[in-house]
Amino acid sequence: MADGAFAQALELINPHLYSVEERIRAQAKQFDPAVEGYVSYVCEKGGKRLRPVLALLAGGATGKITASHVDLAVIVELIHIATLVHDDIMDGAELRRDQPTANAKWGNAISVLLGDCLFAHALKLATGFSNTEICRRIADAAAEVCSGEIIQTQRRYDLKLSTADYYRIIEMKTAALFSTACELGAFISEANPAVIGALKNFGAKVGTAYQIYDDCLDLAGTEEEAGKTLGTDLRKGKFTLPVLLMLQNRQGGDLSGLRDLLLREDHVDEEALSEMLKQAGALQAAAQIARRMIGEGRESLVLVPENRYVSGLRAIADHLIGRIDRLA
Protein backbone atom coordinates (compact mmCIF):
# COMPACT_ATOMS: atom_id res chain seq x y z
CA MET A 1 0.00 0.00 0.00
CA ALA A 2 1.40 3.36 -1.14
CA ASP A 3 -0.01 5.01 1.95
CA GLY A 4 2.23 3.14 4.34
CA ALA A 5 4.48 6.19 4.56
CA PHE A 6 1.47 8.38 5.28
CA ALA A 7 0.31 6.08 8.08
CA GLN A 8 3.87 6.11 9.43
CA ALA A 9 3.96 9.90 9.41
CA LEU A 10 0.75 10.05 11.44
CA GLU A 11 2.07 7.34 13.76
CA LEU A 12 5.13 9.50 14.40
CA ILE A 13 3.08 12.37 15.79
CA ASN A 14 0.27 10.27 17.19
CA PRO A 15 0.62 11.16 20.89
CA HIS A 16 0.79 14.85 20.00
CA LEU A 17 -2.20 14.60 17.68
CA TYR A 18 -4.02 12.96 20.54
CA SER A 19 -3.16 15.93 22.76
CA VAL A 20 -4.39 18.29 20.05
CA GLU A 21 -7.69 16.42 19.91
CA GLU A 22 -8.01 16.50 23.70
CA ARG A 23 -7.21 20.20 23.78
CA ILE A 24 -9.70 21.00 21.02
CA ARG A 25 -12.32 19.02 22.92
CA ALA A 26 -11.48 20.90 26.13
CA GLN A 27 -11.93 24.33 24.52
CA ALA A 28 -15.71 24.06 24.55
CA LYS A 29 -15.62 24.06 28.35
CA GLN A 30 -14.01 27.48 28.30
CA PHE A 31 -17.12 29.07 26.82
CA ASP A 32 -20.26 30.09 28.62
CA PRO A 33 -22.36 26.95 29.36
CA ALA A 34 -25.04 28.27 26.99
CA VAL A 35 -22.51 28.35 24.16
CA GLU A 36 -20.53 25.21 25.03
CA GLY A 37 -22.82 22.80 23.18
CA TYR A 38 -22.50 24.62 19.88
CA VAL A 39 -18.72 24.79 20.18
CA SER A 40 -18.29 21.15 21.01
CA TYR A 41 -20.59 20.14 18.15
CA VAL A 42 -18.48 21.82 15.50
CA CYS A 43 -15.15 20.99 17.14
CA GLU A 44 -15.71 17.32 17.74
CA LYS A 45 -16.80 16.38 14.27
CA GLY A 46 -13.32 15.11 13.56
CA GLY A 47 -12.12 16.14 10.18
CA LYS A 48 -8.70 15.41 8.82
CA ARG A 49 -6.83 17.82 11.12
CA LEU A 50 -4.48 18.50 8.22
CA ARG A 51 -3.27 21.84 9.56
CA PRO A 52 -2.39 20.39 12.99
CA VAL A 53 -0.57 17.52 11.28
CA LEU A 54 1.52 20.01 9.32
CA ALA A 55 2.25 22.18 12.38
CA LEU A 56 3.40 19.14 14.37
CA LEU A 57 5.49 17.63 11.57
CA ALA A 58 7.12 21.01 10.88
CA GLY A 59 7.91 21.20 14.59
CA GLY A 60 9.45 17.72 14.58
CA ALA A 61 11.32 18.48 11.36
CA THR A 62 13.12 21.32 13.12
CA GLY A 63 13.51 20.06 16.68
CA LYS A 64 11.57 18.51 19.50
CA ILE A 65 7.77 18.73 19.37
CA THR A 66 6.79 20.82 22.40
CA ALA A 67 3.63 21.98 24.14
CA SER A 68 3.89 25.18 22.07
CA HIS A 69 3.59 23.15 18.88
CA VAL A 70 0.48 21.52 20.26
CA ASP A 71 -0.90 25.01 21.07
CA LEU A 72 -0.14 26.14 17.54
CA ALA A 73 -1.87 23.07 16.11
CA VAL A 74 -4.98 23.69 18.23
CA ILE A 75 -5.12 27.36 17.25
CA VAL A 76 -4.81 26.85 13.48
CA GLU A 77 -7.47 24.15 13.59
CA LEU A 78 -9.87 26.37 15.56
CA ILE A 79 -9.41 29.15 13.02
CA HIS A 80 -10.06 26.63 10.28
CA ILE A 81 -13.22 25.39 12.01
CA ALA A 82 -14.42 29.00 12.42
CA THR A 83 -14.03 29.63 8.69
CA LEU A 84 -15.83 26.35 7.87
CA VAL A 85 -18.80 27.42 9.99
CA HIS A 86 -19.02 30.68 8.05
CA ASP A 87 -18.36 28.99 4.69
CA ASP A 88 -21.25 26.63 5.23
CA ILE A 89 -23.57 29.57 5.85
CA MET A 90 -22.52 31.23 2.63
CA ASP A 91 -22.73 28.03 0.62
CA GLY A 92 -26.02 27.05 2.21
CA ALA A 93 -24.35 23.66 2.78
CA GLU A 94 -26.34 21.05 4.69
CA LEU A 95 -23.68 18.47 5.35
CA ARG A 96 -20.12 18.67 6.67
CA ARG A 97 -18.06 15.72 7.83
CA ASP A 98 -21.16 13.55 7.38
CA GLN A 99 -23.20 15.54 9.87
CA PRO A 100 -25.66 18.43 9.55
CA THR A 101 -23.81 21.76 9.38
CA ALA A 102 -24.24 24.33 12.17
CA ASN A 103 -26.44 26.45 9.90
CA ALA A 104 -28.60 23.47 8.99
CA LYS A 105 -28.99 22.68 12.69
CA TRP A 106 -29.37 26.12 14.28
CA GLY A 107 -29.78 28.64 11.48
CA ASN A 108 -27.56 31.34 10.13
CA ALA A 109 -27.69 33.79 13.02
CA ILE A 110 -26.28 31.37 15.59
CA SER A 111 -23.73 30.16 13.05
CA VAL A 112 -22.40 33.63 12.27
CA LEU A 113 -21.86 34.20 15.98
CA LEU A 114 -20.47 30.74 16.60
CA GLY A 115 -17.81 31.32 13.96
CA ASP A 116 -17.00 34.67 15.57
CA CYS A 117 -16.72 33.05 18.99
CA LEU A 118 -14.33 30.37 17.77
CA PHE A 119 -12.29 32.93 15.96
CA ALA A 120 -11.97 35.21 18.98
CA HIS A 121 -11.19 32.23 21.16
CA ALA A 122 -8.44 31.00 18.84
CA LEU A 123 -6.83 34.43 18.87
CA LYS A 124 -7.15 34.56 22.64
CA LEU A 125 -5.23 31.27 22.82
CA ALA A 126 -2.65 32.76 20.46
CA THR A 127 -1.95 35.52 22.97
CA GLY A 128 -0.62 32.78 25.23
CA PHE A 129 2.68 32.66 23.32
CA SER A 130 5.30 34.75 25.07
CA ASN A 131 6.67 35.82 21.68
CA THR A 132 4.05 38.24 20.30
CA GLU A 133 5.37 37.64 16.78
CA ILE A 134 3.62 34.26 16.78
CA CYS A 135 0.26 35.75 17.71
CA ARG A 136 0.73 38.48 15.11
CA ARG A 137 1.37 36.00 12.33
CA ILE A 138 -1.64 33.94 13.31
CA ALA A 139 -3.89 37.02 13.30
CA ASP A 140 -2.34 37.98 9.98
CA ALA A 141 -3.11 34.60 8.46
CA ALA A 142 -6.67 34.78 9.78
CA ALA A 143 -7.17 38.20 8.17
CA GLU A 144 -5.70 36.86 4.94
CA VAL A 145 -8.07 33.88 4.91
CA CYS A 146 -11.08 36.19 5.32
CA SER A 147 -9.85 38.62 2.67
CA GLY A 148 -9.41 35.74 0.24
CA GLU A 149 -12.96 34.61 0.92
CA ILE A 150 -14.28 38.12 0.33
CA ILE A 151 -12.55 38.35 -3.04
CA GLN A 152 -13.91 34.92 -3.96
CA THR A 153 -17.44 36.00 -3.04
CA GLN A 154 -17.06 39.28 -4.88
CA ARG A 155 -15.98 37.52 -8.07
CA ARG A 156 -18.81 35.00 -8.15
CA TYR A 157 -20.40 34.62 -11.59
CA ASP A 158 -17.52 36.65 -12.99
CA LEU A 159 -16.54 35.11 -16.31
CA LYS A 160 -13.51 37.41 -16.46
CA LEU A 161 -11.94 35.65 -13.47
CA SER A 162 -8.48 34.55 -14.65
CA THR A 163 -6.54 31.55 -13.41
CA ALA A 164 -4.12 34.10 -11.88
CA ASP A 165 -7.03 35.59 -9.90
CA TYR A 166 -8.02 32.09 -8.86
CA TYR A 167 -4.52 31.26 -7.59
CA ARG A 168 -4.39 34.51 -5.67
CA ILE A 169 -7.74 33.77 -4.02
CA ILE A 170 -6.83 30.24 -2.94
CA GLU A 171 -3.38 31.32 -1.78
CA MET A 172 -5.14 33.72 0.56
CA LYS A 173 -8.12 31.67 1.65
CA THR A 174 -6.40 28.28 2.04
CA ALA A 175 -2.64 28.36 1.59
CA ALA A 176 -2.14 31.19 4.11
CA LEU A 177 -3.15 28.99 7.04
CA PHE A 178 -1.23 25.93 5.76
CA SER A 179 1.92 27.98 5.31
CA THR A 180 1.53 29.66 8.69
CA ALA A 181 1.13 26.25 10.37
CA CYS A 182 4.40 25.05 8.81
CA GLU A 183 6.26 28.33 9.22
CA LEU A 184 5.38 28.77 12.87
CA GLY A 185 6.04 25.11 13.60
CA ALA A 186 9.64 25.81 12.56
CA PHE A 187 9.68 29.28 14.13
CA ILE A 188 8.72 27.84 17.53
CA SER A 189 11.62 25.36 17.18
CA GLU A 190 13.87 28.38 16.55
CA ALA A 191 15.01 26.97 13.21
CA ASN A 192 17.20 29.18 11.01
CA PRO A 193 15.46 31.60 8.62
CA ALA A 194 16.21 29.55 5.49
CA VAL A 195 14.61 26.47 7.03
CA ILE A 196 11.62 28.47 8.26
CA GLY A 197 11.22 29.92 4.76
CA ALA A 198 11.45 26.46 3.17
CA LEU A 199 8.73 25.07 5.41
CA LYS A 200 6.56 28.11 4.85
CA ASN A 201 6.90 27.55 1.11
CA PHE A 202 6.14 23.85 1.50
CA GLY A 203 2.94 24.73 3.37
CA ALA A 204 1.94 27.32 0.79
CA LYS A 205 2.38 24.93 -2.13
CA VAL A 206 0.70 22.00 -0.48
CA GLY A 207 -2.12 24.27 0.70
CA THR A 208 -2.72 25.63 -2.79
CA ALA A 209 -2.64 22.13 -4.28
CA TYR A 210 -5.01 20.93 -1.60
CA GLN A 211 -7.54 23.61 -2.50
CA ILE A 212 -7.28 22.71 -6.19
CA TYR A 213 -7.92 19.09 -5.23
CA ASP A 214 -10.86 20.11 -3.05
CA ASP A 215 -12.30 22.18 -5.89
CA CYS A 216 -11.96 19.23 -8.29
CA LEU A 217 -13.68 17.06 -5.69
CA ASP A 218 -16.60 19.50 -5.59
CA LEU A 219 -16.99 19.08 -9.36
CA ALA A 220 -16.29 15.38 -9.75
CA GLY A 221 -16.36 13.61 -6.39
CA THR A 222 -19.15 11.72 -4.67
CA GLU A 223 -20.79 13.05 -1.52
CA GLU A 224 -20.48 9.66 0.09
CA GLU A 225 -16.72 9.78 -0.28
CA ALA A 226 -16.33 13.45 0.58
CA GLY A 227 -18.73 13.47 3.55
CA LYS A 228 -20.01 16.91 2.58
CA THR A 229 -22.43 18.57 0.19
CA LEU A 230 -20.80 18.77 -3.25
CA GLY A 231 -21.51 20.77 -6.38
CA THR A 232 -21.99 23.93 -4.31
CA ASP A 233 -19.26 25.87 -6.13
CA LEU A 234 -21.04 25.96 -9.47
CA ARG A 235 -24.42 26.55 -7.88
CA LYS A 236 -22.90 29.56 -6.11
CA GLY A 237 -21.07 30.88 -9.16
CA LYS A 238 -17.62 29.94 -7.88
CA PHE A 239 -15.59 29.13 -10.97
CA THR A 240 -12.68 26.94 -9.95
CA LEU A 241 -9.58 25.82 -11.82
CA PRO A 242 -11.05 23.09 -14.08
CA VAL A 243 -13.84 25.43 -15.18
CA LEU A 244 -11.44 28.32 -15.73
CA LEU A 245 -9.11 26.12 -17.78
CA MET A 246 -12.04 25.04 -19.90
CA LEU A 247 -13.14 28.65 -20.41
CA GLN A 248 -9.60 29.57 -21.47
CA ASN A 249 -9.56 26.95 -24.18
CA ARG A 250 -12.86 27.65 -25.88
CA GLN A 251 -13.83 30.02 -28.61
CA GLY A 252 -16.90 31.13 -30.51
CA GLY A 253 -20.10 29.17 -30.12
CA ASP A 254 -18.52 26.67 -27.78
CA LEU A 255 -17.52 29.45 -25.42
CA SER A 256 -20.98 31.06 -25.52
CA GLY A 257 -22.64 27.74 -24.77
CA LEU A 258 -20.39 27.14 -21.78
CA ARG A 259 -20.93 30.66 -20.49
CA ASP A 260 -24.67 30.24 -20.71
CA LEU A 261 -24.45 27.02 -18.73
CA LEU A 262 -22.31 28.62 -16.03
CA LEU A 263 -24.49 31.67 -15.55
CA ARG A 264 -27.67 29.75 -14.85
CA GLU A 265 -28.02 30.60 -11.18
CA ASP A 266 -29.28 27.84 -8.91
CA HIS A 267 -30.16 25.37 -11.65
CA VAL A 268 -26.82 24.39 -13.10
CA ASP A 269 -27.02 21.46 -15.49
CA GLU A 270 -24.41 19.42 -13.65
CA GLU A 271 -24.50 16.48 -16.00
CA ALA A 272 -23.87 18.62 -19.08
CA LEU A 273 -20.99 20.38 -17.33
CA SER A 274 -19.52 17.19 -16.02
CA GLU A 275 -19.56 15.80 -19.58
CA MET A 276 -17.87 18.95 -20.89
CA LEU A 277 -15.20 18.83 -18.19
CA LYS A 278 -14.49 15.23 -19.08
CA GLN A 279 -14.29 15.90 -22.81
CA ALA A 280 -12.03 18.90 -22.29
CA GLY A 281 -9.75 16.95 -19.94
CA ALA A 282 -10.08 19.92 -17.59
CA LEU A 283 -10.01 17.93 -14.36
CA GLN A 284 -6.86 16.16 -15.54
CA ALA A 285 -5.25 19.48 -16.41
CA ALA A 286 -6.10 20.96 -13.00
CA ALA A 287 -4.87 17.80 -11.28
CA GLN A 288 -1.61 18.08 -13.19
CA ILE A 289 -1.12 21.65 -11.97
CA ALA A 290 -1.79 20.55 -8.39
CA ARG A 291 0.74 17.71 -8.72
CA ARG A 292 3.35 20.10 -10.05
CA MET A 293 2.80 22.44 -7.10
CA ILE A 294 3.20 19.61 -4.63
CA GLY A 295 6.43 18.74 -6.42
CA GLU A 296 7.67 22.30 -5.91
CA GLY A 297 6.72 22.16 -2.25
CA ARG A 298 8.53 18.85 -1.88
CA GLU A 299 11.63 20.33 -3.48
CA SER A 300 11.82 23.17 -0.99
CA LEU A 301 12.30 20.55 1.73
CA VAL A 302 15.88 19.96 0.52
CA LEU A 303 16.78 22.99 2.65
CA VAL A 304 15.59 21.19 5.78
CA PRO A 305 18.06 18.77 7.42
CA GLU A 306 16.72 15.26 7.00
CA ASN A 307 14.89 13.40 9.78
CA ARG A 308 11.81 11.21 10.13
CA TYR A 309 9.49 14.21 10.38
CA VAL A 310 10.79 15.68 7.15
CA SER A 311 10.04 12.32 5.53
CA GLY A 312 6.63 12.59 7.17
CA LEU A 313 6.00 15.93 5.44
CA ARG A 314 6.93 14.30 2.14
CA ALA A 315 4.53 11.46 2.90
CA ILE A 316 1.72 13.98 3.42
CA ALA A 317 2.55 15.53 0.06
CA ASP A 318 2.58 12.10 -1.60
CA HIS A 319 -0.67 11.12 0.05
CA LEU A 320 -2.31 14.20 -1.44
CA ILE A 321 -0.91 13.26 -4.86
CA GLY A 322 -2.45 9.81 -4.38
CA ARG A 323 -5.85 11.31 -3.68
CA ILE A 324 -5.54 13.55 -6.71
CA ASP A 325 -4.62 10.52 -8.83
CA ARG A 326 -7.74 8.68 -7.71
CA LEU A 327 -9.92 11.63 -8.67
CA ALA A 328 -8.44 12.51 -12.07
Q: Which stretch binds its own copies (CB under 8 A): 13-21, 146-154, 197-205, 216-224?
A: 146-154
Q: Which residue in 69, 86, 200, 298 binds its own copies (CB under 8 A)?
A: 86
Name the DSSP class of 281. T
Nearest-approach distance from CB 138 to its own copies, in angstroms: 8
When the beta carbons of 153 and 249 are compared against its own copies, the nearer one is 153
In this structure, are residues 314 and 320 in contact, taking their beta carbons and an 8 Å threshold?
no
- State yes or no: residue 66 binds its own copies (CB under 8 A): no
- State yes or no: residue 32 binds its own copies (CB under 8 A): yes
Of the candidates 240, 267, 272, which has an alpha carbon nearest to the alpha carbon of residue 254? 272
Instruction: Centre a 10 Å sphere on the Cβ of residue 166 and count the other Cβ atoms it contains.
Output: 22
Q: Which residue in 139, 159, 261, 303 binds its own copies (CB under 8 A)?
A: 139
When the beta carbons of 25 and 124 are compared against its own copies, the nearer one is 124
Q: Which residue type does 173 have?
A: K
Following CA atoms 151, 185, 129, 78 in sequence, which dihedral angle do they give, to the nearest 10 degrees? 50
Q: Which residue in 16, 28, 38, 167 binds its own copies (CB under 8 A)?
A: 38
- State yes or no: residue 89 binds its own copies (CB under 8 A): yes
β partners of residue 95: 100
When the beta carbons of 90 and 303 are compared against its own copies, the nearer one is 90
Of the candidates 301, 300, 293, 280, which has an alpha carbon nearest to the alpha carbon of residue 321? 293
Distance of CA 146 to the CA centre of its chain: 13
Nearest-approach distance from CB 158 to its own copies, in angstroms: 12
- State yes or no: residue 187 binds its own copies (CB under 8 A): no
Q: Which residue in 2, 26, 67, 109 binds its own copies (CB under 8 A)?
A: 109
Could you give the 3-state DSSP secondary structure of residue 101? coil
Q: Which stretch binds its own copies (CB under 8 A): 85-93, 185-193, 218-226, 320-328?
A: 85-93
Cα 60 to Cα 13: distance, rounded to the nearest angstrom: 8
Distance of CA 280 to the CA centre of its chain: 27
| Interhelix angle 282-300/241-248, nearest 10 degrees | 120
Q: Which stretch binds its own copies (CB under 8 A): 8-16, 83-91, 220-228, 296-304?
A: 83-91
When the beta carbons of 89 and 217 are compared against its own copies, the nearer one is 89
Cα 101 to Cα 271: distance, rounded to the nearest angstrom: 26
Following CA atoms 77, 79, 85, 90 in sequence, which dihedral angle do they give, to the nearest 10 degrees? -130
Cα 250 to Cα 316: distance, rounded to the nearest angstrom: 35
When the beta carbons of 73 and 145 are compared against its own copies, the nearer one is 145
- State yes or no: residue 176 binds its own copies (CB under 8 A): no
CA distance between the termini of the chain: 19
- State yes or no: residue 314 binds its own copies (CB under 8 A): no
- Alpha carbons within 13 angstroms on the beta-carbon side of residue 265 total 3
Nearest-approach distance from CB 68 to its own copies, in angstroms: 14
Q: Which residue in 2, 120, 263, 272 binds its own copies (CB under 8 A)?
A: 120
List of residues contacting its own copies (CB under 8 A): 31-32, 34-35, 38, 83, 86, 89-90, 108-110, 112-117, 119-121, 123-124, 126-130, 132, 135-136, 139-140, 142-143, 145-147, 149-151, 153-154, 172
